[in-house]
Structure 1
Amino acid sequence: MNTRWKPSVTVAAVIEQDGRYLLVEEHTSDGLRLNTPAGHLEPGESPADGAAREALEETGCIFTPTALLGVYMASSNDVAGEPTTWMRFAFRGHARPADPAPTLDRGIVRTLWMTPAEIEASQSRHRSPLVWRCVQDHMRGQGFDLSVVAVD
């Protein structure tokens, strides 16, 4: 049997304002975890559009991507305990509250604005190691022109 390997693609929004980063606290199979607004890329959407959609669904904010922060790969087990490789397209950008504010995705408990020190200190509660890595890359000023992600 020849099985083709396919990573799961996720998109994330890394949003900083006044020295604080917007995170969500969400229910997961491992309990309450912290994450940047993130989720699965849906069929037919670009990674930047997916990050904007996820930010709106999880935080109630309208996210405008300004740069690709990076492409990240991580391995873990999925909900069923199967090994999964995740490819994350993370974007930096700006956000403003939606008016009216939408209902947040099921599983999202709350949004939090956290300092880098608070995020670093809470690593044991992160959904994945990519949360802190993306914040660190953002703090370093990393970013690539949005055109590096070509969509046909």
Structure 2
Amino acid sequence: MSDIWKPSVTVAAVIEREGRFLLVEEETSDGIRFNQPAGHLDPNETLEQAVTRETLEEAAYDFVPTALVGMYMARYVSSRTGLEVTYLRFAFCGELGREHDRPLDTGILRTVWMTREEMLACQDKHRSPLVLRCVDDYLAGKRAPLSLLYTHQDAAHA
């Protein structure tokens, strides 16, 4: 076993429609929590491909990322196992496509649309403090072009 520290790379979709944000309600080791459609970067995919895939799997929507809202680092300690994980989260905004009639990913209970105020009122039920931070950064107009991200051809297969 390696003693090399390795953060977990995750992606998240910040999706706003008419003043409400798309969240998923999910079962976690710490109970039922709210999160953006989000998940881990899989082998052989780009960050953009990962956020598109995760949005489809968790929320049953097509999603095309158009900008990077932010890059975040946070430490999480499981209340159940006591294990510590550091996450690097890449949050994207973009265009929401059509909704599909398909089952949601394992552990996802439902999708919900919430205003920022509704999110603030239930922040103790967020998967992490990054959920609200990503929305606040989005509302503040933080955007970076996707051209900021580069994936070498050996790292991902299109």
Q: Same fold (TM over 0.5)?
A: yes
Partner of 1:24: 24
1:135 paired to 2:113: no
Q: How far 1:96 sits from its partner (Å)?
A: 2.1
Q: How far 1:2 sits from its partner (Å)?
A: 6.9
Q: How far 1:44 sits from its partner (Å)?
A: 0.7
SS of 2:144 mapped into structure 1:
coil
Q: Which amino acid aligns with 1:87?
A: L
Percent identity of paired positions between Structure 1 and Structure 2: 52
Partner of 1:92: 93
Partner of 1:58: 58
Post-superposition CA distance 1:60-115 (Å, at most 9, x none): 0001101011110000125643111000011011212244x221101111100100
TM-score w.r.t. length of structure 1: 0.95
Map 1:13-52 → 2, pairs under 5 A: 13-52=13-52
SS of 2:26 mapped into structure 1:
strand
Q: How far 1:35 sits from its partner (Å)?
A: 0.2
| Pairwise CA RMSD | 1.4
SS of 1:72 mapped into structure 2:
strand
How many residues end up aligned between the 2 structures? 151
* Structure 1 portions without partners, runs of 5+: none
Residues 16 and 94, structure 1, Cα contact 8 Å, conserved in 2 = no
* Structure 2 portions without partners, runs of 5+: 153-158
Partner of 2:155: none
